[in-house]
Chains A and B, each alone.
Chain A
Amino acid sequence: MIDLSVLSATEIRDGIAGKRFSAREVADAAFARVEALEPSIHAFNQLTPELAEAAADRVDAMVAAGDELPPLAGVPAAIKDNMNLVGTRTTCSSKILASYESVYDCTAVRRLLDAGALPVGKCNLDEFAFGSSTENSAFGVTHNPWDTDRVPGGSSGGSAAAVAAGMATVSLGSDTGGSIRQPGALTGTVAMKPTYGRVSRYGCVAFASSLDQIGPFAHNVRDAALVLNAIAGKDEMDATSVTETVPDFTATLNDGVKGLRVGIVRDMLELEGLDPGIKASVEAAAARYAALGAEVGDVDIPAARHGLSAYYIIGPAEASSNLARFDGIRYGYRVDDATDVLDLYMRSRAEGFGPESIRRIMLGTYALSAGYYDAYYGQAQKARTLIIEDFAKAFESYDVLLTPTSPEVAFKIGEKSTDPLAMYLSDVFTIPLNLAGLPGVSMPCGLSEGLPIGLQVIGRHFDEATMLRAAAALEADLALDMTPSMARGGLDG
């Protein structure tokens, strides 16, 4: 049986092309791992073996016909359950969409599958992507494969855990304030948020439209780059997707960092509450860059300290608007004894949304309501301008920037679920990038007490190539084995 815990996407594709194994065997291996590991992880809201097998059969038919295989042919892929795919439910881990069936495809998912990937299933998330632990799911918490008493981060915790456990080779998540990168850090995976506009948002249920971006999880930088290759590019269905040319993001991965200017965001590293182990690990990573020939220095992004405040206005404001459509009229949960339409709205929404969704809808509605717009939304948009300007200034001197991804490693399930504000702090390093539209990748840079530490590498707008090159160089240098013990080996893992 194929050991998916050790195979990269390219190895899988090449193995199928070289007829060492079939795509169908890969699918079987993936679902065998799911069967073994999913009960203790709960990464998925829905498994899609029929879709995966059909996709595998198409790949095998191509092999039989002697056709050139697409870049992700036969690669098991998991999809965050806020992205539409015909033949699946898209629940956003919410009661309000518990039985919602997709009637069209999310562009990024379509592109991933067109590149040959096998859809394993739809992954758990914090309801509507509101959270940093995947505890805010109507369908139960997802467990971290490194320690099942701990959270995998969030909101794309299911997508992160599925890859960390080897149930999928790659996965898609969405990132509004760190929802790809933070769970990437907590699960020891490579997790990337591309530049805003790089990947179409069409078909991904919107949280905050001006911040959301779809991106990959993978075991290594090259696989992440392959997924980005597949999903990036202008989509006529998303007015905010850009026409910027899409390079082959794998082309320059091995070019090294000699002469590359690497900036450590010093004021973030001095943040109170940052786990000292994480701080030391980031410093060590910076030192490795210097050793590899990069020019390493310090830089400050002072306005980033306002990121959290700005984000907790802009994010909820946009979310309160984006979630208005869940009204029980055309789809979704509806109370069955409504006396009139107002009653239907009020109770369907109150019963359909979980507590964190209600909290954010309330916060966002308040921030946009008459008399408060300027003080909250207007002020947050201005703070956003300052953050953009500070990053622009930093990128005058540096090609990439480094921060920790998360101020702490994976925390215990339940540890923060009663304190929203403490939870919000999980994204303090990742949020500024969403506000500025910048790309960022979280990569493992070590362990702290047996749990993965994430390093965030930040690139310029649309310069994911340089960012990934820097990440790949460090990845090769560190040569960490980031497979959690439960996920090691083949079927019996």
Chain B
Amino acid sequence: MAKDRLSEVLERYEAVIGLEIHTELTSLKSKMFCGCPVEFGGEPNTRVCPVCLGLPGALPVPNEAAVEATVLAGLAVNCDIALWSQFHRKQYFYPDMPKDYQISQYDLPFCSGGHLDVEVDGDAVFQRVDRDSEEEYTARIGITRIHLEEDTGKMIHVGGAEGRISGAEKSLVDFNRAGTPLMELVSEPDIRTPEEARRFAQKLRLIMLTLGVSDCSMEEGSMRVDGNISIRLRGEIELGTKSEIKNMNSFKALHDALAYEIVRQADLMDVGERVVQETRHWDVGAKRTSMLRSKEEAHDYRYFPEPDMVPFAFTEEWVESIAQRVPELPDAKRERFMGTWDLPKYDAVVLTSDLAMAGFFEAAVAQTGPARAKSVANTMINDFSAHLNAEGIGVDESPVKPSMLAELVVLVDDGTISGKQAKEVFSAMVKTGEAPAVIVEARNMRQVSDTSAIEAVVDAIIAANPDEVASYRGGKIGLVGWFVGQVMREMRGQGNPKVVNEVLRRKLG
């Protein structure tokens, strides 16, 4: 999607976007209504029981930890917690749904009326053409509700193209995933740009990770984002016809699919055609959405209170006890990083945008002391991030541990090695997993800062190169670099460059 085209469309149309985000509570031990373990993958139908297979006579019993996790999530995104709530049955036939109804929540969800503040900066600010400033801004996105439900099983379509339904001869059904606790968050249609949608989803993911309720893997489907999107002419109050977009399996896909859809709807409206209410599928390969089903197949879910379970009555005290368990959230952590260690906002944002990065940073700084926090941040944002990207690994998978990075920062800071040497040590660390001090020792890289030792070398070089000395003194002061090189070569690179420079300039006059 060309930015220009989107930009042009957004000049004339305003997008109205709401997100539905499903998050599996993967950190729980057992499923939503039975004791089967919550895990990903595995041989088909090996993690099932009478309850999650929907066998005749089996009954659901709600997992207390799932209820608590949902309330925890609700509190983390500023929701009100219902003191009276219950499950409903949402009824429709589908082969991956064992009971042919899904136990979900309807008019009495656990959480409602929350919001998240999303900060948008950089290039993405342009998408908000209604703002006359190019400064970063904060958008407050309302959260309608968060409710709890059960996930479905999975189907593999055999005989068709690439596991898609169309053309398949038959399908295989695996219920391992059926009954996995699933939290559904529904946002208000407060989102105006694809970038706001992406940042909202990213922020929500970070919060869920911080709460420790889910691994939020978009690849494995433990976090799934669907979007409702319509556009209207700027200045128009009435909402346009919306389409629902599914299969946005990454944050990039979320952004690109919404951007595509805005342009697609605008193209229709520009030629006077109607946007049809339908569900569309994002094809990441073709970079376009296509119709999955039209709204004509209207749903009639026949919701009614789940009679196999009793209602939930929470007290204020209980809700407060869950609120006590909300850990430091990303915004607060970012502020703390800026306040405690005087980090620039950029550094704080980068370090707190990933739980493991933030944890790594704090562990390293604990070792170096707060005065070296900026040096730790620099090393992490530059060398460490580059290394992670190059290897395509996560923080925890790196051979570089916080203590090692801290040690490296201290070695540079106290002048034991030069910044250039530090890069070499870092590379060695990545390869060998050895501590910096060990590497410095083994490679004899200890930097010489002793003035008298350097003076001796400088004297020898000056004595050995009278012509160059004369040229320098005659005005070719650029030769100082050549002298530094000679000294460093003599010292096998271990001379402290700062001291070498200073001694040379003094001795050369």
Contacts and interface: CB of A to CB of B under 8 A. Distances in A.
**Touch between chains A and B, by CB atoms below 8 Å:** yes
Interface of A: 82-84, 90, 92, 97, 100, 103-104, 106, 201-206, 208-210, 236-240, 317-318, 321, 324-327, 329-331, 341, 345, 365, 368-370, 373, 377
B58 interface: yes
A141 B55 CA distance: 26
B238 interface: no
Contacts of B60: 239
B56 A210 contact: no
A317 to B, nearest CB: 6
Contacts of A84: 56-57
Contacts of B61: 236-239
Contacts of A205: 56-57
B91 A202 contact: no
Contacts of B53: 330
B56 A100 contact: yes
21 contacts: A82-B57, A90-B56, A90-B57, A104-B50, A106-B57, A202-B57, A203-B57, A204-B57, A205-B56, A205-B57, A238-B61, A239-B59, A239-B61, A318-B307, A321-B302, A325-B99, A326-B56, A341-B171, A368-B302, A369-B302, A373-B302
Contacts of B57: 82-84, 90, 106, 201-206
Contacts of B309: 239-240
Interface string B83-105: 00000010101010011110000
Interface in B417-461: none
Given A210-B307, A237-B61, A240-B307, 16 more contacts: A90-B57, A104-B58, A202-B58, A203-B57, A209-B59, A240-B308, A240-B309, A324-B99, A324-B100, A325-B56, A325-B98, A325-B100, A330-B55, A369-B300, A370-B300, A373-B303
Nearest to B50: A104
Interface of B: 50, 53-62, 89, 91, 93, 95, 98-101, 171, 173, 175, 300, 302-304, 307-310
A112 to B, nearest CB: 15
Contacts of A82: 57
Given A321-B89, A325-B56, A365 B302 contact: yes
A238 B57 CA distance: 10
Given A317-B304, A325-B98, A325-B99, A238 B50 contact: no
A238 B310 CA distance: 10
B100 A203 contact: no
A329 B59 contact: no
B55 A209 contact: no
Nearest to B175: A330
B91 A324 contact: yes
Contacts of A377: 304
Which 3 pairs of residues, A with B, have the shortest CB-CB distance? A324-B100, A209-B307, A210-B307
A321 B55 contact: no
Contacts of B54: 325, 330
Contacts of B98: 325, 330
A92 B56 contact: yes
A184 B343 CA distance: 80
B56 A324 contact: no
Contacts of B100: 324-325, 327
B333 to A, nearest CB: 38
Nearest to A365: B302
Given A321-B89, A324-B101, A345-B93, A239 B55 contact: no
Contacts of A329: 95, 173
B59 A373 contact: no
Contacts of A202: 57-59
Which of B50, B60, B171, B310 is the most central at the interface, judged by chain A CB atoms within 10 Å of its CB?
B50
Which of B57, B99, B175, B307 is the most central at the interface, judged by chain A CB atoms within 10 Å of its CB?
B57
B56 A373 contact: no
A368 B62 CA distance: 24
B304 A239 contact: no
A487 to B, nearest CB: 31
B59 A208 contact: no
A327 B93 contact: yes
A132 to B, nearest CB: 22
A377 B99 CA distance: 21
A24 to B, nearest CB: 30
A444 to B, nearest CB: 31
Contact of A239 (B171, B175, B308): B308
A205 B50 CA distance: 12
Contacts of A209: 59, 307-308
Nearest to A208: B307
Contacts of A204: 57
B177 to A, nearest CB: 15
A373 B107 CA distance: 14
Nearest to A377: B304
Nearest to A241: B59
B382 to A, nearest CB: 55
Nearest to B62: A239
B307 A324 contact: no
A103 B304 contact: no
Contact of A321 (B50, B58, B62, B91): B91
Contacts of B99: 324-325
A35 to B, nearest CB: 30
Nearest to B309: A239
A21 B97 CA distance: 52
Contacts of B310: 239-240
Contacts of B58: 104, 202-203
Given A106-B57, A203-B57, A331-B55, A324 B62 contact: no
A345 B97 CA distance: 13
A369 B298 CA distance: 12
B86 to A, nearest CB: 11
B465 to A, nearest CB: 89
A91 B175 CA distance: 24
Nearest to B171: A341
Contacts of A92: 56
Nearest to B48: A330
A341 B95 contact: yes
A370 B303 CA distance: 9
Contacts of A238: 59, 61
Contacts of B173: 329-330
Contacts of A326: 56
A203 B54 CA distance: 11
B93 A324 contact: yes
Contacts of B300: 369-370
Contacts of A208: 307
Contacts of A97: 56
A43 to B, nearest CB: 21
Nearest to B100: A324
Nearest to B60: A239
A103 B50 contact: yes
A317 B88 CA distance: 13
A373 B304 contact: yes
A206 B60 CA distance: 12
A327 B53 CA distance: 13
Which of A90, A201, A240 is the most central at the interface, judged by chain B CB atoms within 10 Å of its CB?
A240
A368 B306 CA distance: 13
